[in-house]
Amino acid sequence: MQVNQRVAAPGDLTTVYTIAPAPDTTSDGVGEMMYVGATDPDLQEIAFFSRRRLSDASILSIPGDNKLTFAANNFQVDFKDVFDFNGFTYFVTNQRFDSGSTYTNVLSKINRVCHDSTDLDSRTEVVIECTNNGENYNLIQAVHLTTVGSDLANSLVLGTNEQVLIGLFAKSVDLTDFIPDSRSALCIFRLSDIEFKFLRAIAACYESTGNNDGASYIIGKNCGITLDPNSFDTTQLADQQKCNAANYALARGKLTEPIQSTATIEWPSTLVSSIITTVEEEHTIAFIGTSTGQLMKYHLRGGGTSRMYETLNLGSPVLMDDHLQTTEDGKQHLTILTEQKIFKLRVENCGYYETCDGCIGATEEDGDPYCGWCILTRT
């Protein structure tokens, strides 16, 4: 067993983590482990990806080969978020496509590892793109995994309770750096589309005639060709193939096969920084924070018709750590973290409007989605 006391990246470098199921093969029978993404591009003193124990006797230690490290110094990865879905942990990052000099532009990526794999060689990465009219918002800023209201679900042709990933993106000041400018966008991705792109990345390893489809910037790992690519359907890989990476170690999706979506909202002069959503009746409501301290409330709708219906000034940049809580009486409260304060807000704000008509709105283009009138209680 290898013990690594240092878990988080130093200074202002980013670290993300989640608690998720452990593989059945763990010797101590612990049901959950901590999945960590962190980077130190200069010193390599911490694991790039790691899976750590949570048991008292060996807390935060790394069992066996449950870590990945860089093959070269100065390969920067900016971790933005992490979430769990359908047996996998997904790490959301901004990074270069590879460590070589042939491709230096910064891209948004999703990296995933399988909960049931014995090590982290099941890690696979794909590019995720948010575009519109030739504009590529190449730096992901925040994501939120959720279900949406029926009006938006119908426009996206979603199945019942099908989940989506809502992402906030920005354009970088220069395509080769990690610094965002003030141009931002919101894109919505179906989880089923994301899962399919990961299957294609794995299949590319089986189909490859060389090592071009492996993540060569990680120590000692690349695509392994041990199966006949004609012997199975690469679009429907079995669970064993998806989690046993002996045949596709550290697959990397092709640049020509990114996860793509067209921007639903664009902000030409606002850098967005956080998002959390909820559903009221058939409506999808998004609370979006900005780098200048605003909290924007949006009614998300299909066909590019989403609208902002309220803005609050919180005074300092909004961070990604939003939380939505439902109390025993059914009321929802939003907790927002900024650089200077923590705010607890009701999701609805009827006092923002001077009249009942203003709150309800005359058409679908105005008013608050939470506003309504009950003829029984006259409220």
Quote the strand ranges of 133-282, DSSP E: 135-137, 139-146, 164-172, 180-190, 259-262, 265-267, 272-280
- Give 180-193 as a DSSP string: EEEEEEEEEEEHHH
Quick check: 190 pLDDT over 90?
Answer: yes
DSSP 76: -
More confident residue, 223 or 85: 85
Residue 1's pLDDT is 43
DSSP 158: P
Tens digit of pLDDT for each residue in 18-47? 999 988 755 555 688 899 988 766 655 567
Averaged over 337-342, what is the pLDDT? 91
More confident residue, 244 or 187: 187
Question: Are 279 and 147 a contacting pair, CB within 8 Å?
Answer: yes
* Single pTM value for the model: 0.87
Query: b or e along 76-95 (b: 16 or more beta carbons within 10 Å of the residue's beta carbon)?
Result: bbbbbbbbbeeebbbbbbbb
Quick check: 263 pLDDT over 90?
Answer: yes
Give the closest residue to 48 by CA, choosing from 264, 218, 265, 232.
218
Tell me if residue 228 falls in helix, strand or coil.
coil
Tell me if residue 39 falls in helix, strand or coil.
coil
Tens digit of pLDDT for each residue in 111-147? 998 888 877 877 888 899 999 998 999 999 999 999 9
Predicted confidence band at 374 (pLDDT cuts at 50, 70, 90)?
very low
How far apart CA 52 and CA 222 sit, in angstroms, is 23
Residue percentage of the chain with pLDDT more than 70 = 71
